[in-house]
Structure 1
Amino acid sequence: MTHYNLKTLGYTTETAATLESNQIIGRISSQSKDIYKVLTDHGEGFAKISGKYFYEINSAEEYPAVGDFVTLNHYPDSDDFAIIQDVLPRKSTLTRQSAGNSTETQLIATNIDSIFICMSLNEDYNLRRLERYLAIAWDSGAMPYIVLTKSDLCSDIQARLAEISDIALGVDVILTTNAQKDGYATIQKHLHVGKTAAFIGSSGVGKSTIINHFIGDAHIETDGLRNDDKGHHTTTRRDLYVLPNDLGIVIDTPGMRELGVGNTDITKSYEDIEALAVQCKFNDCTHTTEPKCAVKAAIQTGELSKERFENYQKLQLEAQYGDMDARMIEQTKLNRMIGGKKALKQLRRQNQH
């Protein structure tokens, strides 16, 4: 049985806990329904949450998640389950809006130091989706990186890099390929012992292939390309792996093609638009009909793309609606429509005088 050093698992003073005599600390590496796989300095095994903890939970985010450090009342040396008594404070949380019409936030992983946003340079390439990933990555508290996979399949890499540089403000962009022996060398420079990296992206972009490269063994099932150059989706759950050679910890996540931002703070990922907005004549400028609007001027000159601004507005609305139910959302939309018409009439009256 493998035994883990807590510091190697990323345990720090930020997640320190006062333990009772019969408790130990573990880190959750995977979950299947209500059963958690936990890594500790005693070994690895399975655990469930205590009944007391279960009845004290008020939201889905309070459940243990992959990456969490937890206190356990004992560690199993047979087929018994350990009991999770508490989740230790999280230094970062990666979340997204649950699929469909739900307003609930889905917790993807916790205690992450860096997030590698993977996007392939073939049919999966999508700038607007990349902006969504950047928004939730910045909001998590971890440092984002953009990993462009399958670069050997792209005939115009420089044009792609230029497009991405316009939206990925302050984010390193890493080109990768599994067609070369050192195709993942740049990623390795960002992997460190005791640090946790999460890999996120759409299905089939090559996340699991990259992680398998660093694990040194094909622990994660992967498939090749389909006829349309898109990879097959294989990862169906979140899993944490301790890498050999002091390369730290990685978390593999399922592909997320639908990515709701919920109540995510998107200001960090749209700092360019936020900076333009403070230059507008009116503090409450909506960037639609108002005169001397710096945002509209930037779109007209080509400094800001219309598509990026429209996506910014869309994510703003999603973030505003994040904690609302369907009825509240419809009422807010109606209020916005009425308010916008009133503002337009008022502006027209002002211009007549």
Structure 2
Amino acid sequence: MTDPVLPEGRCAARVARVDRGWLTVLTADGDRRVPSTGLREADGVAVGDWVVLAGDRAVRVLPRRTAFVRTAAGRGSAPQVVAANVDLVLVVDALGAGLRSRRVERYLAVAWASGATPVVVLTKADLCADVPAALAAVARSAPGVQVLAVSALTGGGIEAVQELLAPGRTAVMVGPSGVGKSSLTNALTGRPAAATADVRGDGRGRHTTTARELHLLPGGGLLIDTPGMRELALPGGEGVDAAYADVADRAADCRFRDCAHDSEPGCAVTAAIDRGDLDPARFAAWQRLQAEAHRQELRADAWARAAESARLRALHREMRARPARPRR
């Protein structure tokens, strides 16, 4: 980010952690813990944000370049910024029986919508009997995305991830619980920066990270670790076509713009499926996410309207509660 021009006595700081009423920030003079009471509730500060400090208080959130935004499943859920101003989104999953390509695709759809570059990182490579085959299978579900395999236990593949995190670059790790994000954080930072837990009897990891936190890496890069996300609803449809570029590109070649990709003449999607050039399972997944994203956009519009109505009602109540000005 280009250094903003700030009034004398104020400086910019990077948010490393958000706690109730307090922020841990990184400044040129080191870490500081400052109250967030000077920020408006609407600012919605997130890890990775740049804030303006005035003395010992954060008073303003600077505009974001990128943001990984999630929406928890549920009717009343509002979009939530998981990490701000990131260059890379590391979509982390574990090699083995628990690896699901549809889950990776969902994370990639949200990652593409963030404005950052997604990378798939597959952990626990030491437990996989055929790593090249697993990489190839995931790559088919992630067109245009780099796919890496790593092992925090042996150190294999860690250097390839480190090379992505050049000085000044910020990455956020996202993925379900128990896939090894904390172990990967420790391997990249070179210290026990995140708590880890033993593997369960079924081979899956245990949830350990409880808060989002930004870590400064030895090479000058920055890494945001996040808790596992039990549910990841799409905030909108911006990243779905990017995650399913192989489907979306063919859909764009259909004869009719409103093609339902069923039995219409000139449908490039059904033709590709008939030729064996397109996986029908990916086409079905694309359709499901498109429909989900549309529902979420309608829900978000309704939530925004309700929030604005509540704000106006509160403003009217405040105005009515003010004492009347005496007449002259």
Decide: shared fold, TM above 0.5: yes
Distance 1:24 1:69, change over 3 A: same
The root-mean-square deviation of aligned C-alpha atoms, in Å, is 2.1
Distance 1:287 1:63, change over 3 A: same
Provide the rounded CA distance (Å) in 1 between the counterparts of 2:244 and 2:205. 30
Query: 2:241 corresponds to which residue?
Result: 267
Q: State the SS of the aligned residue for 2:297.
A: coil
Q: State the SS of the aligned residue for 2:80.
A: strand
Q: CA deviation at 1:324?
A: 2.6
2:44 corresponds to 1:63: yes
Amino acid at match of 1:175: A
Distance 1:200 1:326, change over 3 A: closer
Amino acid at match of 2:171: A
Amino acid at match of 2:40: F
Contact residue 122 and residue 230 of structure 1 kept, 8 A: no
Amino acid at match of 1:31: V
Taking structure 1 as the reference length, what is the TM-score of the superposition? Answer: 0.80
Q: State the SS of the aligned residue for 1:323.
A: helix
Structure 2 unaligned regions, length at least 5: 304-328
Provide the rounded CA distance (Å) in 2 between the counterparts of 1:240 and 1:249. 7
Amino acid at match of 1:85: V
2:230 corresponds to 1:257: yes
Query: 1:104 corresponds to which residue?
Result: 78
Query: 1:46 corresponds to which residue?
Result: 33
Q: Once the two structures are aligned, what percentage of the paired residues are identical?
A: 39
Structure 1 unaligned regions, length at least 5: 1-11, 75-81, 330-353
Map 1:335-350 → 2, pairs under 5 A: none
Q: State the SS of the aligned residue for 1:261.
A: coil
Amino acid at match of 2:45: P
2:167 corresponds to 1:193: yes
User: Which stretches of structure 1, 4 residues or more, deviate above 6 A after TM superposition?
Assistant: 326-329
Query: 1:310 corresponds to which residue?
Result: 284
Contact residue 72 and residue 85 of structure 1 kept, 8 A: yes
Q: State the SS of the aligned residue for 1:192.
A: coil
2:12 corresponds to 1:25: yes
User: Any idea what the Cα deviations from partners look like across 1:25-78, whole Å, max 9, x if unmatched?
Assistant: 111000112321111123322223345x426x2xxxx3111001100111xxxx
Q: State the SS of the aligned residue for 1:147.
A: strand
2:107 corresponds to 1:120: no
Q: CA deviation at 1:87?
A: 0.9
Distance 1:105 1:328, change over 3 A: closer
Map 1:36-185 → 2, pairs under 5 A: 36-51=23-38, 53-54=39-40, 57=42, 62-74=43-55, 82-185=56-159
Provide the rounded CA distance (Å) in 2 between the counterparts of 1:207 and 1:128. 19
Deviates more, 1:227-236 or 1:300-309: 300-309
Contact residue 101 and residue 326 of structure 1 kept, 8 A: no
Provide the rounded CA distance (Å) in 1 between the counterparts of 2:217 and 2:264. 54
Amino acid at match of 1:41: A
What number of residue pairs does the alignment pair up?
Answer: 302
Provide the rounded CA distance (Å) in 2 between the counterparts of 1:111 and 1:163. 31
Provide the rounded CA distance (Å) in 2 between the counterparts of 1:18 and 1:183. 41
Q: State the SS of the aligned residue for 2:188.
A: helix
Amino acid at match of 2:13: G
Taking structure 2 as the reference length, what is the TM-score of the superposition? Answer: 0.86
